[in-house]
């Protein structure tokens, strides 16, 4: 993966408002805002083609990016991205400044591994029902993972894995779990697929009676 997607050139804009933003979009530019870290918000403009290229990568949304603003390098996270209703266009981006000494809170995707090879699915006719695709984490910028893995290899038919079952990298915590035991939400459940092995056995027993 090219490091270029994590480095974006940006310009400070002073012409604000809906009309100004509309003109920028016609010029193939993306209006944006940079805020956080106890500093005043700064209105920015980025090249739309570079943004479109970068946002195709999953890591773009959870990786610490470097914004080159008039010669100054600022580390930031994408906190929100607005898109056109039906055109492949980004219409606005919110960036959050990152302070290396301050924990950040952001969403990271879940990667479900060994799903196809898990015996409960491959052999026993189960299928994985995913309850969430990403989770909110808190950590220092240096510890920020691009994604978290959920290993399904040893899951059993009928079993549900919860947030507490996710193996977290050092220094990373799940914000939902910090709210108490009742927030240990379901992540994935393996259920018997219709027409699975157990269903077929039940049908055979019924036909023999």
| 23: helix, strand or coil | helix
Question: What are residue 122's phi and psi, to 5 degrees?
Answer: -70, -40
**Domains of the chain: which residue ranges?**
3-99, 105-199
**Predicted local distance difference test score (pLDDT) of residue 21:** 60
Pick one of 3.20.20.150, 3.40.640.10, 2.170.120.20, 3.60.21.70 as the CATH number of 105-199: 2.170.120.20
pLDDT at 199 over 60: no
Q: How confident is the model at residue 6 (pLDDT cuts 50, 70, 90)?
A: confident
pLDDT, tens only, 154-194: 999 999 999 999 999 999 999 999 999 999 999 999 999 87
Placement of tokens 């600022």 in the chain: 74
- CB hemisphere CA count around 58 (13 angstroms): 11
pLDDT at 206 over 50: no
pLDDT at 208 over 60: no
pLDDT, tens only, 96-150: 999 999 999 999 999 999 999 999 999 999 999 999 999 999 999 999 999 999 9
In angstroms, how far is CA 105 from the centroid of its own chain?
Answer: 12
Q: Please, which residues bridge with residue 56 across strands?
A: none
Q: Taking the CB of residue 102, how many other CB atoms lie within 10 A of it?
A: 12
pLDDT, tens only, 35-80: 998 899 999 999 999 998 998 888 898 889 999 998 899 999 999 9
Pick one of 3.40.50.1110, 2.40.240.10, 3.90.650.10, 2.30.40.10 as the CATH number of 3-99: 2.40.240.10
**Predicted local distance difference test score (pLDDT) of residue 38:** 85
Q: Please, which residues bridge with residue 36 across strands?
A: 39
Decide the pairing of beta strands 148-151 and 104-113.
parallel
- H or E element that contains 174: strand 173-174
**Predicted local distance difference test score (pLDDT) of residue 179:** 94
pLDDT at 10 over 80: yes
Helices (H), 83-190: 119-122
């Amino acid at each position: 993966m090219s490091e270029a997607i994590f480095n974006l050139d940006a310009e400070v804009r002073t012409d604000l408002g809906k009309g100004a933003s509309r003109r920028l979009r016609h010029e193939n530019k993306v209006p944006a805002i940079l805020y956080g870290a106890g500093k005043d918000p700064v209105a920015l403009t980025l090249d739309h083609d570079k943004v479109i290229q970068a946002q195709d990568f999953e890591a773009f949304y959870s990786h610490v990016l470097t914004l080159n603003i008039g010669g100054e390098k600022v580390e930031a996270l994408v906190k929100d991205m607005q898109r056109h209703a039906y055109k492949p266009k980004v219409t606005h981006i919110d960036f959050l400044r990152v302070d290396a000494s301050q924990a950040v809170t952001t969403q990271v995707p879940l990667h479900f591994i060994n799903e196809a090879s898990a015996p409960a699915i491959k052999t026993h006719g189960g299928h994985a029902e995913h309850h969430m695709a990403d989770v909110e984490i808190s950590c220092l910028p240096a510890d920020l993972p691009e994604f978290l893995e959920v290993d399904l290899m040893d899951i059993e038919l009928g079993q549900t894995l919860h947030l507490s079952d996710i193996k977290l990298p050092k220094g990373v915590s799940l914000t939902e779990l910090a709210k108490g035991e009742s927030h240990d939400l379901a992540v994935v459940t393996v259920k018997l697929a219709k027409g699975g092995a157990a269903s077929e056995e039940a049908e055979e027993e019924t036909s023999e009676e």
